[in-house]
Amino acid sequence: QLRGMKLIKNNDLPPGIKIDIVEEVLRGRVGSFLNVGGLDDKMTLQTIAVNESPAGIPLIFAQDVIHGFKTTFPVPLAEAASWDLEAIKRSAEIAAREASSSGVMWTFAPMVDISWDARMGRVVEGAGEDPYLGSQIAVARVTGFQGDDLADSHTILACAKHFAGYGQVLAGRDYNQTRISKRFLHDYILPPFKAANDAGVATVMNGFNDFDGVPVSASKYLLRDVLKGEWGFEGFTVSDWNSFAEMINWRYAENRKHAAELAIKAGSDVDMISLVTIENLEALVREGSVAESMLDDAVRRILKLKFKLGLFDDPYHYFTEGLEEQVVFAPEHLQHARTLAANSMVLLKNQQELLPLNKGQYTNIAVIGPKDADSLSLLGAWQAAWNTDGLVPFTEGIANAFSNSKVTYAVGVDGDPVKNKTEEEKALALAKDSDLIILTLGEGFWFAGENTSLVDPKLPDNQVALAKKIKALGKPVVVVLATGRPLVFPWVRENFATILLSWLPGTEAGNALADVLTGEINPSGKLPITFPHHVGQAPISYLFKETGRPDTDKGNVTRYLDAPNRPAYAFGFGLSYTQFKYGPISLSSSKMRPDDTITATITVSNVGKYDGAEVVQLYIRDEFASVTRPVKELKGFEKVFLKKGSSTSITFEITEEQLKFFNQDLQYVSEPGEFSIEIGPSSDTTASVSFKMTSE
Ligand code: NOJ
């Protein structure tokens, strides 16, 4: 066995490990690592920890495995657009399987932050704007990563982040303060965390933001009262990166020692990298500023999960030589990445029914646009490998599918990331020769992820300029919008008849796109986040409140002078190649007592020309309440596949639970009164029936 002391003496360390790190492990001052390269390095450090550190406690190895490890799935926001919980769970399961084969035992995912703001590029990592959908997806991801048994070498610890409010940073500027009320927190921010907790999430990460005047790493209210108190969370919490020390910049902690004291007292357990706790906790406990029981509690939580991971039975069970090569990019993983990417795509416009494309019809297809050149961006932010191994770019996928056509590619724009001025001419020449243009637009790799806030999240000007020239050619054009956040693109939206939102689809990008273009897969994605008409509408959500002066009234009503209130594309929106018809809603009863269950049933028919899947969405509106309520809230959905010409009847159960909200005393209650129900293909639906809930 490798021995730390010997390694140091002989200076025989693997290239990924530095001497001072080994010394820290030998002294027992490290409990977990983040981003340690391969299996060998992890094995070396684990051996030293187990055999030579004072207590012999095994280490945990962590990494941000966010949407796949080597097989990269669509970015999380895109996956959310599939509204397919089983498929999302499976993607997390595969990510865990691949990551664990490289010795990773803990991922910093899922991000369950609810955000209403396209300015914040970090929305790419969440599940969008809605707490109900967000909660369902949080559960799918947590159970996918963690499986049924954490001691299984193929499952890893999940981490719900960022607790709490990070998705609501003021003005959409990453790391900024928040200005949300406790009500907003409870109504919209906490539900996915609560759902993750109820699903057994092992760990929870704090955020960089503050809440109600307190940096959340030091929020006793959030960590001790809500998470560990009211919800009974049994795992451990971790800072986000340097967030403990950053409390000094917030001018909330006086110095590093104070930061450590504030963090542990509030219920923070693990310090990701700031080191303020390892430097100061012993002294804080000895001098009586921090109760020893608090330290014990944090340690107990961490040890418990190390036991659950099976590390005390076998600290090496995650390290199987040769397994990674067998597991990563396994055919079934790639197949899932392809199907999920296709099922995440959202058809925004198909006015002339150009799609699906007839494979035999085109002799010369020109793929134009910056996406394939900026190929990392097709994988999206957060990759385990930072390379494009295995990636099928758009053009390659299209060429595979249209094997009898000539398929050519040109980047077209001379801005970032490609600097060549002649590119536009080349692209226009190819486009002129073609009988079909696939125009792939979207922001560059560095524009959707952490720290990518924009005041103006629009399609870059040079791409719009190119789009205008392409349009002028008068050829059939499919616009493919590859973005990780809602973009504002009025000219393109108004001037092209065919727009497909591909998001950032991951490893199988090209094949998935081709599947959708050819109709192999009929698009069924629905937006999990509103696409604004103008950035000035941010923050925007379908969960708005009517106000005392609704914009349906005349005169001085809540509206803009220079833009509509409506978004460009509403939450839940997405077209199909086929058409679905919704019948009337039939309610099992127009009255319900709090302990009753009533049902709402609707017939959905596929009346179009293709087989296809539809996400049938249930919205409930509280007509009158003791606090102001949103116009409607998503309370159920079902994704159904319907052959052309067929119908199905879908029944949603309605119970008191779906009618509850936080009252003025922040108690989660239902109130008797009238509720309306809408069932439809998006949040932009009105046909409704209503029922009354009685008090008993
Ligand atoms: C900072 C990010 O906010 C967080 O989500 C991530 O897990 C950590 N860095 C670790 O990489």
Residue nearest to atom 7 of ligand 1 (CA): 108
Mean pLDDT across 148-162: 98
pLDDT digits (tens, 9 = 90+) for 575-627: 999 999 999 999 999 999 999 999 999 999 999 999 999 999 999 999 999 99
Rounded to whole angstroms, the Cα distance separating 345 from 514 reads: 11
| 145 CA to centre of ligand 1 in angstroms | 17
pLDDT digits (tens, 9 = 90+) for 163-175: 999 999 999 999 9
SS3 content of the chain, % helix, strand, coil (to 5): 35, 20, 50
| 591 CA to centre of ligand 1 in angstroms | 48
* 108 Cβ below 6 A of ligand 1: yes
> What DSSP string runs through 645-670?
T-EEEEEEEE-GGGG-EE-TT--EE-
Rounded to whole angstroms, the Cα distance separating 108 from 204 reads: 9
Ligand 1 atom having least distance to the Cα of 159:
7
Catalytic residue among 84, 240, 271, 372: 240
What are the b/e assignments for 429-468, b being 16+ CB within 10 Å? ebbeebebbbbbbbbbbebbbbebbbeebbbbeebbebbe
pLDDT digits (tens, 9 = 90+) for 518-544: 999 999 999 999 999 999 999 999 999
Mean pLDDT across 625-644: 98
Residue nearest to atom 10 of ligand 1 (CA): 241
| 240 CA to centre of ligand 1 in angstroms | 6
pLDDT digits (tens, 9 = 90+) for 463-478: 999 999 999 999 999 9
Q: Which of 65, 241, 274 to mutate to test the pocket of ligand 1 (most atoms within 8 A of CB)?
A: 241
Summary count for the chain: helices (H), strands (E): 21, 25
pLDDT digits (tens, 9 = 90+) for 642-679: 999 999 999 999 999 999 999 999 999 999 999 999 99
Q: Is the pLDDT of residue 65 over 80?
A: yes
Q: What sign for the dihedral angle of Cα 213, 215, 216, 218?
A: negative
Phi and psi torsions of 201, nearest 5°: -55, 135
pLDDT digits (tens, 9 = 90+) for 13-59: 777 788 899 999 999 999 999 999 889 999 999 999 999 999 999 99
Which residues, other chains included, contact 42 with Cβ-Cβ below 8 Å and sequence gap of 6+? 33, 36, 61, 103, 318, 319
pLDDT band of 415, cuts 50, 70, 90: low
- pTM, two decimals, is 0.97
Amino acid identity for residue 42 in this structure: K
Active site residue 314: no
